[in-house]
């Protein structure tokens, strides 16, 4: 099959949906002739024109609100925020407006919009352009939260997100933009709330998100050489979360490691770990659940410090071995 | 008629507006009474004294036009055509309320009728109005969005971002700042360093007009011009309607930050009394007819209370409904 990059898959998903549905449009800073901070919308203004590829002032709160207001009245906007850190500036509109309008209005309104935004560290952009704040939005009822890890997934999940009638926060990992994968040319949807078993195994389950899916797979490959079979699950969407797939995997392997790039303290890994602890899978556990996450520090600039702030493949390998050596009771 | 009014404002409409202003006032006074008695919970923000800006601004709209409102939004709701029964039921938290009892005073909306909702966040609704106006343009709907907010909101970033956005995109929005002199306890004199909030329009290259918000004629004429300007594709206008809220900010306000003399001064500019005087002078209304309309409005509010009280409480099964579409 044809291989394209994650970035191209994002663009292709938007392009194909926009060719079918005139209500879909994109707004964001520098998304016009510039093509967006990461080049995701490059070429789109030429195809769809400045009405539908709508370049905005630097006004995150204003453009988030404009997206929400347009969604409330029948459009299906895709809002691009240049860096996911900037959601802080749009937070009132996302948390107090988009997430709540439907409920506050007794179900008599809907806000079908997607907020696409690049997250994560590894580019040397330091503390204000490298965060992974997905747990913040996952905490808020009314929002859906998506974190695609592969080119195939990002295309299908984005189509589903655009077609969803709710506000969806869609995190694209910056370091994944250039990664390639097999992606069908025709449009397809991947339902929100469906995890993917990225590698099957019997000894330990790793639930990993975004770029950590790739690190977990790399770790699993190395561990296989030592005869350790790791199962890697990518939830793909945090809200809704496909707990069933994780539960059945843990029942099979009896061991669970959760890994994400976001700061471990208060991170979504805690939610997954405690959901498993509360579930029927708890009785199957042969070792305590282990969480790997970012250190409790702003992302530093120096490349070695930056790497040390978030889990790496070696950390995952070490965690797997520790988990295998631990026993409950 | 000697009164200068927009062409769609007939004598009948003026009479209707007189009654509507009483509906707003009686609604607010009834709500005030119930909060004082502890009969409804939460909090509330009343627009007594500000009836002319709500009624006058909405009077010149077409049915397809939309509004966004504020935490002090009951008047806007009534003026945009909401049923007082559904509003009162919402304040009582009943299933027959506009939001099925899930929104309360600060979130009454009727999206299908073009009321995009009150808002509990100061300035929160202003960008939403811009988005609704964007839809109007992108889908060639031809409707205009009337965006209500207060003097306090004009200091929020969302106001400046939204007005800038509407101006660079030339969107059909009319921004109406109801300057009621106070953002909670903060006097506009302390919080804004200019005499007229409408002057802020010049920063965005759009018309800015400061008017007497207690004069419904001036409100109607000014908003009508702005709506025509917007509908004609000429972009937004910022109107500052100077007015005064007779009651405190919310139910817990002892009003220590202002004098009783100041309150008296503004009560003397009562927008309802002013309209009545004009309509009687014009021969459109008589004292007897005015009293009858006032009584009718009062009775309708009383009826809405009965309706609300007799409406069912929501079942606990509805708690988790309506979160996602």
The answer to whether A129 is a known catalytic residue is yes
What is residue A329's predicted lDDT score, i.e. its pLDDT?
62
What is residue B253's predicted lDDT score, i.e. its pLDDT?
87
Q: What is the pLDDT of residues B202-232, one digit of tens each?
A: 999 999 999 999 999 999 999 999 999 999 9
Chain A interface, best mutation among B128, B132, B168, by max A CB count within 10 A: B128
Q: Average pLDDT in the B90-104 region?
A: 96
| CA distances in angstroms from A263 to A277, A291, B100, listed in the order given | 21, 11, 39
Answer whether A3-182 and A196-325 agree in fold.
yes
Higher-pLDDT residue of A147 and B37 is A147
Q: Sorting pLDDT into bands at 50, 70 and 90, what band is A294?
A: very high
Count of Cβ atoms closer than 10 Å to residue A114 Cβ? 29
Distance CA A210, CA A174 (A): 10
Q: What is the pLDDT of residues A224-280, one digit of tens each?
A: 999 999 999 999 999 999 999 999 999 999 999 999 999 999 999 999 999 999 999
Say yes or no for a CB contact (<8 Å) between B325 and A25: no
Does position A328 have pLDDT exceeding 80, yes or no? no
* Domains of chain B and CATH, by start: 11-311 (3.40.50.970)
Q: Which residues on chain B place their C-beta less than 8 Å from a C-beta of chain A?
A: 66, 68, 97-103, 107, 109-112, 116-117, 119-121, 124, 126-136, 138-139, 157-158, 161-162, 164-165, 168, 321-325
Name the minimum distance, in Å, from the CA of A83 to any CA of chain B.
19
Does position A97 have pLDDT exceeding 90, yes or no? yes
Q: Average pLDDT in the A61-84 region?
A: 98
Three-class DSSP category at B321: coil
Q: Is the CB of residue A237 less than 8 Å away from at least one CB of chain B?
A: no
> A129, A173, A214, A260: which one is catalytic?
A129
DSSP helix, strand, coil percent of chain B (3-state; round to 5): 50, 10, 40
Distance CA A82, CA A275 (A): 33
Residue ranges of domains in chain A: 3-182, 196-325
CATH number of the structural domain A3-182: 3.40.50.970
Write the ipTM.
Answer: 0.95
Three-class DSSP category at A76: strand
Q: How many helices (H) and strands (E) does chain B have?
A: 11, 7
Angular region, B124: left φ>0, alpha ψ -120 to 50, beta rest: alpha
Average pLDDT across chain B, whole number = 96
Say yes or no for a CB contact (<8 Å) between A57 and B132: no
Q: What is the pLDDT of residues B1-34, one digit of tens each?
A: 889 999 999 999 999 999 999 999 999 999 999 9
Say yes or no for a CB contact (<8 Å) between A69 and B134: yes
CB pairs under 8 A between A and B: 151
What is residue B291's predicted lDDT score, i.e. its pLDDT?
98
β partners of residue B179: B242
Closest to A52 in 3D by CA, of A82, A84, A20, A83: A20
Please report the sign of the dihedral spanned by the C-alpha atoms of residue A314, residue A316, residue A318, residue A324: negative
Q: Sorting pLDDT into bands at 50, 70 and 90, what band is B112?
A: confident
Q: Average pLDDT in the B180-190 region?
A: 95
Q: What is the pLDDT of residues B289-318, one digit of tens each?
A: 999 999 999 999 999 999 999 999 999 999
Task: Confirm if B231 and B144 have CB atoms less than 8 A apart.
Answer: yes
- Domain at A196-325: CATH architecture: 3-Layer(aba) Sandwich (3.40)
Q: Which residues of A73-103 are buried (b: 16+ CB within 10 A; e: fewer)?
A: bebbbbbbbbbbbbbebbbbbbbbbbbbbbb
Q: What is the pLDDT of residues A200-209, one digit of tens each?
A: 999 999 999 9
Q: What is the pLDDT of residues B139-183, one digit of tens each?
A: 999 999 999 999 999 999 999 999 999 999 999 999 999 999 999
What is residue B129's predicted lDDT score, i.e. its pLDDT?
98
Say yes or no for a CB contact (<8 Å) between B109 and A109: yes
Assign 3-class secondary structure to A115-164.
Answer: EEEEECCCCCCCCCCCCCCHHHHHCCCCCEEECCCCHHHHHHHHHHHHHC
């Amino acid at each position: 099959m044809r291989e394209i990059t994650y970035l191209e898959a994002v663009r292709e998903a938007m392009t194909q949906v926009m060719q079918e549905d005139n209500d879909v449009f994109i707004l964001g800073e520098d998304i016009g002739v510039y093509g967006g901070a990461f080049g995701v919308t490059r070429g789109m203004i030429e195809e769809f024109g400045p009405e539908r590829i709508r370049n905005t002032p630097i006004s995150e709160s204003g453009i988030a609100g404009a997206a929400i207001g347009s969604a409330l009245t029948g459009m299906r906007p895709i809002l691009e925020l240049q860096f996911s850190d900037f959601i802080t500036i749009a937070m009132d509109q996302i948390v107090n407006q988009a997430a709540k309008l439907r409920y506050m209005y007794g179900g008599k309104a809907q806000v079908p919009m997607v907020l696409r935004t690049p997250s994560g560290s590894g580019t040397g952009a330091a503390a204000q352009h490298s965060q992974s704040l997905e747990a913040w939005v996952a905490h808020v009822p009314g929002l859906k939260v998506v974190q695609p890890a592969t080119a195939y997934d990002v295309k299908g999940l984005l189509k589903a997100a655009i077609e969803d009638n709710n506000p969806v926060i869609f995190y694209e990992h910056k370091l994944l933009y250039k990664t390639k994968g097999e992606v069908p040319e025709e449009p397809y949807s991947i339902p929100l709330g469906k995890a993917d078993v990225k590698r099957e195994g019997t000894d330990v389950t790793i639930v990993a998100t975004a770029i950590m899916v790739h690190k977990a797979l790399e770790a699993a490959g190395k561990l296989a050489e030592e005869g350790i079979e790791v199962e890697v699950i990518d939830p793909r969407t945090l809200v809704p979360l496909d707990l069933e797939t994780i539960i059945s995997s843990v029942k099979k392997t009896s061991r669970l490691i959760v890994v994400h790039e976001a700061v471990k303290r208060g991170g979504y890994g805690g939610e997954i770990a405690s959901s498993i602890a509360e579930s029927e899978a708890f009785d199957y556990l042969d070792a305590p659940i282990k969480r790997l996450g970012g250190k409790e520090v702003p992302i530093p600039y120096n490349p070695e410090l930056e790497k040390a702030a978030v889990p790496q493949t070696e950390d995952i390998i070490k965690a797997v071995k520790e988990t295998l050596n631990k026993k409950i009771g | 008629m000697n009164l200068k009014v927009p062409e769609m404002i007939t004598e009948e409409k003026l009479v209707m507006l007189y009654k509507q202003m009483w509906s707003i006032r009686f609604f607010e006074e009834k709500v005030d009474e119930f909060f004082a008695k502890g009969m409804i919970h939460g909090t509330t923000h009343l627009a007594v004294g500000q009836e002319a800006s709500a009624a006058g601004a909405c009077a010149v709209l077409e049915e397809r036009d939309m509004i966004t409102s504020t935490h002090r939004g009951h008047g806007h709701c009534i003026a945009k055509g909401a049923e007082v029964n559904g509003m009162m039921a919402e304040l009582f938290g009943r299933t027959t309320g506009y939001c099925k009892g899930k929104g309360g005073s600060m979130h009454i909306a009727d999206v299908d009728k073009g009321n995009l909702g009150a808002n509990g966040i100061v300035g929160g609704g202003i960008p939403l109005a811009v988005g609704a106006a964007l839809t109007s343009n992108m889908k060639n709907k031809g409707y205009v969005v009337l965006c209500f907010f207060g003097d306090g909101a004009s200091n929020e970033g969302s106001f400046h971002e939204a007005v800038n956005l509407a101006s660079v995109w030339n969107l059909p929005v009319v921004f109406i700042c109801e300057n009621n002199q106070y953002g909670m306890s903060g006097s506009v004199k302390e919080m804004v360093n200019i005499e007229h909030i409408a002057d802020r329009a010049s920063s965005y290259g759009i018309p800015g007009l400061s008017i007497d918000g207690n004069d419904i004629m001036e409100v109607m004429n000014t908003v009508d011009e702005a709506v025509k300007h917007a509908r004609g594709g000429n972009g937004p206008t910022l109107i500052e309607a100077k007015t005064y809220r007779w009651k405190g900010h919310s139910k817990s306000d002892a009003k220590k930050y202002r004098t009783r003399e100041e309150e008296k001064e503004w009560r003397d500019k009562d927008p309802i009394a002013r309209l009545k005087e004009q309509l009687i002078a014009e021969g459109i209304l008589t004292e007897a007819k005015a009293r009858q309309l006032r009584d009718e409005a009062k009775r309708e509010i009383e009826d809405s209370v009965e309706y609300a009280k007799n409406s069912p409480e929501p079942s606990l099964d509805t708690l988790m409904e309506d979160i996602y579409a």
